[in-house]
Amino acid sequence: MYLYITHSYKFVKPIPSIRLLRAITLRRNPIRGAGERGEERWLRGTANVQFSKEPNNLSNPISYKHSGLANRKTVTIQPEVKEHAVLLATTKTKKQAKPASLLHKCLMKKEFPRMAKAVVSHVVGNYYRPDLKKAALARLSLVHRSLKISKSGVKKRNRQALKARK
């Protein structure tokens, strides 16, 4: 038994099974292909604002541009707490079938301007994903700020202010 799929603009070849139909649906929209809206495992947020929690998604909106599952080329920036550094990872396009070696990881420990320059050169410099430059720099800024160690202990009071009161 064949299923015929028609669109308003073209006719698609017959598909022999329901399993292939589901595979095509998942390929077209992998974020929504899991099931109903409440059953999606990558969906987070409230009724008004929806975010995605999928891997390799820089700014976490539900969109094809930022999706880490739908795109072959992805960029992710994460904190590396043990090393006190920032991890920049890009997807290798030739290793899509091997999940263990899928990501090219780069650990950055230098100061912020050098890290920003490295992110721009990785993302934009070699024409990898220039549309993600702004989101990558924003994520780098947030991750770098989160790694700063706050000074602990009792704060010293300003002695000049105490003398002026007397």
Identify residue 105 by its one-letter amino acid code.
Answer: K
Identify residue 91 by its one-letter amino acid code.
Answer: T
Domains for the chain: give ranges and CATH numbers: 1-30 (no CATH), 72-146 (3.30.390.110)
- pLDDT of 161 reads 60
- pLDDT of 111 reads 92
- pLDDT of 81 reads 84
- pLDDT of 158 reads 72
| Residue among 53, 60, 61, 56 nearest 71 (CA) | 56
- pLDDT of 15 reads 44
pLDDT along the chain (166 residues), means of 10: 50 50 52 50 68 81 80 90 90 85 91 94 89 93 86 70 58
Q: What tokens does 117 get? A: 């320059």
- pLDDT of 118 reads 94
- pLDDT of 131 reads 92
Q: What tokens does 42 get? A: 């990558």
Q: From CA 128, how far away is CA 89, in angstroms rounded?
A: 12
